[in-house]
Structure 1
């Protein structure tokens, strides 16, 4: 599935809804039609071409996901340019390092991102966002509405503007920064073919039906859905508004992160059709709650920036799994798994990233996850970097965390707390669901803790698990600090 094919589908769609929005009451409204989106892409392509953006150019984009961001990606794809996705929330030092590595010729930024780096900086600090002055990093153009003090707007070219012929090769398509340090940032590079393969895998997995709405805002949701003729609704930020949006929209497929699902459930939300979640651990208990709230199916998707998606598992199969670790399902068609010398899961396939920016191509993606292959499925055993060393034991939290998700548990992680001389205490940080009796919850945890054998934690802390990043994954370093602060006499609190 290529972005060029999507453009043709949008052009044929005319006035059919493409991207839907939600009112504060949760009502659905057409935000952009298929024809609008195709026009935006053509006019952005002409405007960028006039500014010298073409084959081999790198275009920095600091814009929230949505129709205009997708139109820019379609425009860049036509021109043969590579889009570098820049996260304004990454912090000034990290963002400067990203710019230095990607070297974009032009930066397209929303007015909001520029304002938070300038006259609205006090508000940015209140929101715990710290941005550098984008204008100091390179040439900037404002995408969308412009506010005072922002860079000049990228003006849409005339609908009649001449467009260059679409580029048709396998050059770099997108750069996404994932990890590393300010001194050595790391960025994933997908080519046009790996991007197309990933989109095709999503389309084959989800099989969106034409004219039936889909709820989700990420690019890997927008492209396959729109290509199938299904309008896409952008999820509301407020959990209560999102819950009302779900009730009114009744989407055929819903894509939300685990934290979003938990927030909707807390707001008494009701689901419809099939629900897909990923980017953070999706436990069997969470998927079960989603199905109990109306979903026909609830799927956990194992994916990463380097390859999405790689595997998927439905709630029923996950609940029936009785082994240790986290079952993430069978590899999707074209995905080749292997286990490395350290027990690390390696993945290859047409949807795998081409390389890391500045490094040589490598067909195998090192996931950083310890795993095993069992009856044709992938079972995760924990992140290699999350290994806890207690005495002479190497403990991988992923082998045991699922057993802590008894009824009444919202989220649970096992973390190491430094104990001196390189040794660690093992602490379970367990987040109860609202209104759950803590005494009863501790009683419910007794048997699962006993079954953990030599990996039984030294202490259990009932507290909210800290989250981090755009996908709101558990922040294990913060959870370790939280455990150390709340359990100063840790050696004496062991439940042995």
Structure 2
């Protein structure tokens, strides 16, 4: 599909490829097809000739979604590099731990991701962008316009890009759970990545000339390869609403929190990354969508299953209907009811671990007689807030300051599958809570987009012979406390 994408971009060089929008929702062209192809070629040449990167090397990528990020990924794929996706919103402590695990030969970052290092630190912190100081990142190059204090620009490689790498091997690393001392990362191979994109292509079937709204790699590549034009969703709910009204896309990909703020739809709408209730999908269709689909996907396997609103609304038994597994996806249940998935698009392994064909989803489920997946809840410690997976183990160690006996992060239901993230801290006997609250502000600030919505002081419930924190009871305690405020 990536070869097909390159041909499509070259054949329609003057056609708009990626669209943006103004504050009023007016459509703007961020990149034409030929410009996107030239950008990818230039990045590939610079990475190969100037930085000497070769197949199998790891490239760190901290670039916001858009044409440049897509061009970087295409260049990395062309060279046979392994792209480690670094989220600047994860916080500097988590990022440093992830860098130590991935050990990239070079990190590419845009100016906004580097902003915390100097030129616009306060603005970056308000946007939850927080890279560590550049000196701690290792070799860094700037993608896009350079600002004061940023690393040198990725340019001036000289020569032409080398021929495309034609073998298999690791394609991308995406970090998920773990702790700062032992982060966990998903590794997808080139073959697995291609299989996942083929699944998306077969499910959605994007058409040449269509207008598609969505911002992820799995949206951009199949849509652009088919000859469609992709618009990046506006961040502001009000602007997004205007953007949809102006663009009237044939296909729309948004998370459930984004869908709730939109007043009208067209074509088909796809949503995932968080639970999408039958009520939400029905609302989307009442507001104009021809079809409304909920897609079940994981970092380890994208996509796994899909269900349209009419089927989901007709399902009356208990549980959350996810639909049939998509072609090639196999299902299995453990003795405890955890859902396991396998398929050609599944991750190869976790970084530093052996390959495993079965993905543990961390979700409890059951299978209907006709093979449909019905979700029954989660098994693993994870909080889902505004379609972002937050793993407590990554951030809880930073809360254990002097004066703290125990600290946990828990999710409190906030309606329609969303959660509020709460830091529950048990002070040591005699600790000054006012001073402790002040001292906790620094580690909370360094959590980036995972910063809790509330900080509560209380004794943390324990359970079992080992007297570990009872997270379910802690969540109930927080819910009660927040309801009284």
User: What residue is the counterpart of 1:21 in the other structure?
Assistant: 20
Instruction: Indicate conservation of the 8 Å contact 1:194/1:353, yes or no.
Output: yes
* Aligned positions of 1:34-49 closer than 5 A: 34-49=33-48
What is the CA–CA distance in structure 2 between the aligned matches of 1:14 and 1:470, rounded to whole Å?
Answer: 38
Using the alignment, how far apart are the partners of 1:105 and 1:338 within structure 2? 39
Q: Tell me the CA shift for residue 171 of structure 1.
A: 0.8
Q: Is the 8 A contact 2:112 2:124 kept in 1?
A: no
Counterpart for residue 483 of structure 1: 479
Distance 2:450 2:274 in 1: 7
Asked if the contact 1:302–1:312 (Cα under 8 Å) also holds between the matched residues in 2, the reply is yes
Q: C-alpha offsets along residues 81-138 of structure 1, whole Å, 9 cap, x if unaligned?
A: 1100000111111100100000000000011111123343333444455431133221
C-alpha deviations, 1:4-24, integer Å up to 9, x for none?
A: 331122112211111011111
User: Residues 412 and 420 of structure 2 are in contact (CA less than 8 Å); yes or no, is this contact kept in structure 1?
Assistant: no
Q: How does 1:81-160 map to 2 (within 5 A)?
A: 81-155=81-155, 157=157
1:98-247 map, 5 Å: 98-155=98-155, 157=157, 161-247=159-245
Whether contact under 8 Å (1:272, 1:296) holds in the other structure is yes
Shift in Å, 1:486: 3.1
Kept in 2, the 8 Å contact 1:335–1:347? The answer is: yes
CA deviations on 1:171-227 (whole Å, 9 max, x unpaired) are 100000011101110000000000000000000000111101100011000000000
Please give the alpha-carbon distance, in whole angstroms, between the structure 1 residues aligned to 2:421 and 2:252.
Answer: 22
1:335/1:145 CA distance change after superposition, 3 Å: same
CA positional deviation for 1:471: 11
Q: Deviations over 1:31-55 (max 9, x none)?
A: 2111111111111100000111111
What pairs up with 1:454-469 in 2 under 5 angstroms? 465-466=419-420
Give the alignment of 1:45-56 within 5 angstroms.
Answer: 45-50=44-49, 51-56=51-56
Distance in 2 between residues matched to 1:310 and 1:276, nearest whole Å: 14
**TM norm structure 1:** 0.79
**1:337: how far off?**
0.7
**Is contact 2:112–2:129 with CA below 8 Å preserved after alignment?**
no
Residue of structure 1 equivalent to 2:293: 299
1:12 partnered with 2:16:
no
For 1:36 and 1:73, how far apart are their aligned partners in 2?
15
Aligned to 2:433: none
| Pairwise CA distance, 1:428 | 8.3
* Structure 1 residues 112 and 240, CA gap change in structure 2 (3 angstroms): same
CA deviation after TM superposition for structure 1 residue 255, in Å: 0.3
Q: Relative to 1, partners in 2 of residues 1:480 and 1:90: Cα closer, same or farther, differing over 3 Å?
A: farther
Structure 1 residue 165: Cα displacement: 1.7
- Counterpart-to-counterpart distance in 2, 1:326 and 1:260: 20
Higher-RCO chain (CA-CA 8 Å, sequence separation at least 6): 2
Instruction: Give the distance between the partners of 1:470 and 1:229, measured in 2 at CA.
Output: 35
1:175, 1:189 within 8 Å by CA — same for their partners in 2? yes
Q: Which TM-score applies when normalising by structure 2?
A: 0.81
